[in-house]
Amino acid sequence: MPPPRPLPSTPLLVGLLAIATWFVVRPFVDPFPPLPTLYTSVGFSLYALLATLYVIPAVGPAFIRANLKGVDLLKLDKSPVPESQGLVCASIYILLLILFIPFAFSNAFSSTMSAKGPEGLSVIEFPHYQLSVYLSSLLSLLIATVLGFLDDVFDIRWRHKIPIPIIASIPLLMVYYAEKGNTNVVVPLPLRFLFGTLVNLGPLYYIYMSLLSTFATNSFNILAGINGSEVSQAVIIALSVILNDLLYLPWPLDFRIPLHLLGSHTEVEVGGVWSAGMAYGSRELVERHLFSLYFMLPLLAVCLGFMYHNWYPARAFPGDTLCYVTGMAFAVVGIQAHFSKTLLLFFLPQIFNFVLSCPQLFGLVPCPRHRVPRIDHDTNLLHPSQAYFEKSPSPLTTMVLRILAALGLAKLTPHPTTGTIASTTNLTILNFFLVRLGPMSEKRLVQTLMGAQVAGSVLAFVVRYGLAGLVYDGNRR
Amino acid sequence: MPPPRPLPSTPLLVGLLAIATWFVVRPFVDPFPPLPTLYTSVGFSLYALLATLYVIPAVGPAFIRANLKGVDLLKLDKSPVPESQGLVCASIYILLLILFIPFAFSNAFSSTMSAKGPEGLSVIEFPHYQLSVYLSSLLSLLIATVLGFLDDVFDIRWRHKIPIPIIASIPLLMVYYAEKGNTNVVVPLPLRFLFGTLVNLGPLYYIYMSLLSTFATNSFNILAGINGSEVSQAVIIALSVILNDLLYLPWPLDFRIPLHLLGSHTEVEVGGVWSAGMAYGSRELVERHLFSLYFMLPLLAVCLGFMYHNWYPARAFPGDTLCYVTGMAFAVVGIQAHFSKTLLLFFLPQIFNFVLSCPQLFGLVPCPRHRVPRIDHDTNLLHPSQAYFEKSPSPLTTMVLRILAALGLAKLTPHPTTGTIASTTNLTILNFFLVRLGPMSEKRLVQTLMGAQVAGSVLAFVVRYGLAGLVYDGNRR
């Protein structure tokens, strides 16, 4: 195996360790901060980052010995790289979330509680009854980890593994049902004359929840193949969710985002100790977004730690395990904190990739085992990979591909004699970038992907806070 | 691989399926039964049995392909047998426990609830607040499964893996802490003049809980090596726990066990609709033992299903996964249903085996990689295996071994010239049986082990209900 990437400099690591410890200790020191549990969460997340940075290379040889290894398809060096190391991220992540339980759900900060201030929200920061919701989320994450790892070990075929995340969502559904979870959704303004303000989806809501898990998981899984592609998506989506959550917290200051510049007729107000800005004074909304933060902060941390080793040239591969656990984590917060529509907006590049992939996923176009771009080892640049037609394609396939080509989403090669389509570039977002922007290096391609993801998130925020006012009123339950 | 064992006859399987479905449907049919959730649990357990019977051989080839295979040390046939198939048992077990949540914790039986009868206990059969306790138990079981499977995949050395079950017990401890679990224990009568009736163990109680998980898991792990040994222990202990739980349920009839014949001065009364016999009218005790039954019934089922394929000559191996998940399941019910002392009584053969193993575990006596008995392929009989001393043993080792030999627990071979101990039989209960009872076949040896386990459980019941009255009064909280 190639030598593992050396760790960052020791002073940096020691500094991080000190900062992490400060965050964990701070809630116990007078004057007690508001939202003490959030301090703990940040501290734990920094510990998770350090642990991931350290453990990933440390267990690499054991993974290789256990036959959990892969060859980098896009490198000349064919020595094996440890595979499925998303397992390390998932283990650290879940273990920390478990150790976090007493801080979130007991009276660990009871000394703090007596110190009521204007930030009084901290006192009832997190209700104990939510413990079972938290635990069911952990169960789903753990099942996703197990299934992802089994997928890596048993190498399940992709057509069979698409429904697997539904199994991981069962604990969420069961506890949601047992706790008589709300299955109402708010109807967009233009449809209210038909359905009223709230519509009870009933069993459909459960189907929606399990489909959300399936989508979040598989959308990462099919956007894979180059160094850092899986984990960088997770990092940017986690950052977006965290940013969105922060808008709902009781900040000491209160500011406005001038969204009227974007044509919205609602003004967005953020922060404000008691009214908690975007939470419109709703304690429930603050609690939900705290719940989301408690899951997203450590997820971001383990993903960043893993990205350090997975960055080009990768010294560790994520395996399906990482896709499963990160996808499930996003589904969990979207469902439990009730912002699944906003969450889906952060998945715009994944949705684009999924829609683009459909002709190959559903058999219209041949789908080779790997659809990763092809490398030209002389220039070290990636080129779009091709799917070849053994016989001339059906009229439907031809039409679909011609439309995609006209939109600039694929590049077709005609058959030299018959003129029918002989091959097409594989229908993924990565090949699309290469078709549009020309050949580029692997590192550049993953940076382009990350750029698209960031652009998608910016667009998502504009849609959510700028345009949503057009179809929803202020009642954002 | 050797061909899998054929399934039992189809009429039997179809019959079982019909009975299982009857149990699941019965609670919804008028007249509604008391304890409807228990019917569901029995039905689900029968499904689990059928699923295990069917899935174990079905996935065998996939396990072999994924390099999860082992060679039977005690057979001439060296073709690989699927290993770690405890994973199948654990998956079915945990999945069913998750699907069971709505039945145990929602108002699924609300129609039943209106039908209050003298069996009124069913109405408040299971309080919703226990959901988080149930979920933390599932988390612990799932972590035990993951760790067991990782142990199988990475082949962790035994000295390193002894503390692993502590990790699996963390969710139990965290939720116990968050829920402000009771850390008091009842003091035995002879010590009350020192400590009073109740003593608060505080943090020690948490250490006790994690040690219990560690003990239950590892005691199975070190009593392994012959076909059926791990799973048969689990079956008999599960049966014993179930029998003990049944004593606390509100049975329609009310009978007495004449324990005064054994010299006890308390009479044991079982059953009785309202007072629920051994529960002394305590709803809490009934609930605890129902909780235990909900975990033990499906455990027994998957173990029986697995035993069918693991029985001599084994067509499937359990791997460490089975030991981890069964050990953890017993620890979970012992802790959550508060009968850990009674539970430990059911582990008498394991405790004997552990104490006997100590000289080898702690390095007094050499410990070979495998301590399973040695087979003589001519007679097909097992003989005790030996641990050899490379240099003459220390005086302490010599003394310990001489005592064990005098007690008939080991057989020593003197050095032909110096007269010091040259070798000893390995210090396990299996070798002990062979030393005492002479060579026997593998099947006979596992039957002997099962006999010892049954005898241990009978003794446990006598101690618990006959002798406990001497050191505890009726207050059995």
Q: Is a pLDDT exceeding 50 seen at residue A151?
A: yes
CB A36 within 8 A of CB A109: yes
Which range, of A74-78, A377-381, B51-55, averages the lowest pLDDT? A74-78
What does the mean pLDDT of chain B come to?
86
How distant is the alpha carbon of residue B355 from its chain centre? 18
Residues of A in contact with B136 (CB under 8 A): 135
pLDDT in tens, A33-67: 878 889 999 999 999 999 999 999 999 999 999 98
State which residue of chain B sits closest to A134, comparing Cα positions.
B132
**Residue environment code for A151-186, b if the CB has 16+ CB neighbours within 10 A, otherwise e:** bbbeebeeeebbebbbbbbbbbbbbbbbbebebebe
How confident is the model over B163-182, as a mean pLDDT?
A: 84
B156 part of contact set with chain A, CB < 8 Å? no
Q: Is a pLDDT exceeding 50 seen at residue B118?
A: no
Task: Please report, rounded to a whole number, the percentage of residues in chain B having pLDDT higher than 90.
Answer: 53
A66 part of contact set with chain B, CB < 8 Å? yes
How confident is the model over B428-449, as a mean pLDDT?
A: 95
Which range, of B8-22, B214-228, B345-359, B438-452, averages the lowest pLDDT? B214-228
The pLDDT value given to residue A115: 42
C-beta atoms of A99 and B66 within 8 A: no
C-beta atoms of B177 and A138 within 8 A: no
State which residue of chain B sits closest to A127, comparing Cα positions.
B178
User: In this predicted model, which residue has the larger pLDDT, A328 or B179?
Assistant: A328
Model confidence band, residue A129 (pLDDT cutoffs 50, 70, 90): low
The pLDDT value given to residue A116: 43
B175 part of contact set with chain A, CB < 8 Å? yes
State which residue of chain A sits closest to B109, comparing Cα positions.
A178
Option in B135, B146, B149 nearest A132 (CB): B135
CB A58 within 8 A of CB A310: no
- CA atoms of B221 and B231, how far apart (whole Å): 11
Which range, of A131-145, A253-267, A407-421, B93-107, averages the lowest pLDDT? A253-267
B106 part of contact set with chain A, CB < 8 Å? yes
User: In this predicted model, which residue has the larger pLDDT, B92 or B77?
Assistant: B92
pLDDT in tens, A209-225: 889 999 998 888 888 88
Q: Is the dihedral of CA B243, B249, B255, B256 positive or negative?
A: positive
B167 part of contact set with chain A, CB < 8 Å? yes
Task: Please report, rounded to a whole number, the percentage of residues in chain A having pLDDT higher than 70.
Answer: 88
Alpha helices for B179-282 (secondary structure H): 192-195, 203-221, 229-246
B35 part of contact set with chain A, CB < 8 Å? no
The pLDDT value given to residue A391: 86
- CA atoms of A38 and A100, how far apart (whole Å): 11
Closest C-alpha among B382, B383, B378, B368 to residue B312: B382
Q: Is a pLDDT exceeding 90 seen at residue A352?
A: yes
A148 part of contact set with chain B, CB < 8 Å? no
Which range, of A131-140, A187-196, B114-123, averages the lowest pLDDT? B114-123
Verdict on whether the full-model pTM lies above 0.80: yes
Question: Helix, strand or coil for residue B432?
Answer: helix
pLDDT in tens, A267-279: 666 666 555 566 6
C-beta atoms of A177 and B106 within 8 A: yes
Option in B95, B135, B154 nearest A135 (CB): B135
Radius of gyration of chain B (CA): 24
CB B352 within 8 A of CB B429: yes
Q: Is a pLDDT exceeding 70 seen at residue B267?
A: no
pLDDT in tens, B361-370: 888 899 888 8
How many Cβ atoms are within 10 Å of B394's Cβ, its own excluded? 11
Closest C-alpha among B218, B272, B239, B243 to residue B464: B243
pLDDT in tens, A152-178: 898 887 777 788 888 899 998 888 887
The pLDDT value given to residue B270: 65
Residues of B in contact with A171 (CB under 8 A): 98, 101, 135, 138
Q: Is a pLDDT exceeding 90 seen at residue B293?
A: yes
C-beta atoms of B98 and A146 within 8 A: no
Option in B66, B95, B178 nearest A131 (CB): B178
CB B311 within 8 A of CB B53: no
B139 part of contact set with chain A, CB < 8 Å? yes
How confident is the model over B144-166, as a mean pLDDT?
A: 85
The pLDDT value given to residue B82: 95
- Give B 203-242 residues with CB within 8 A of chain A: none
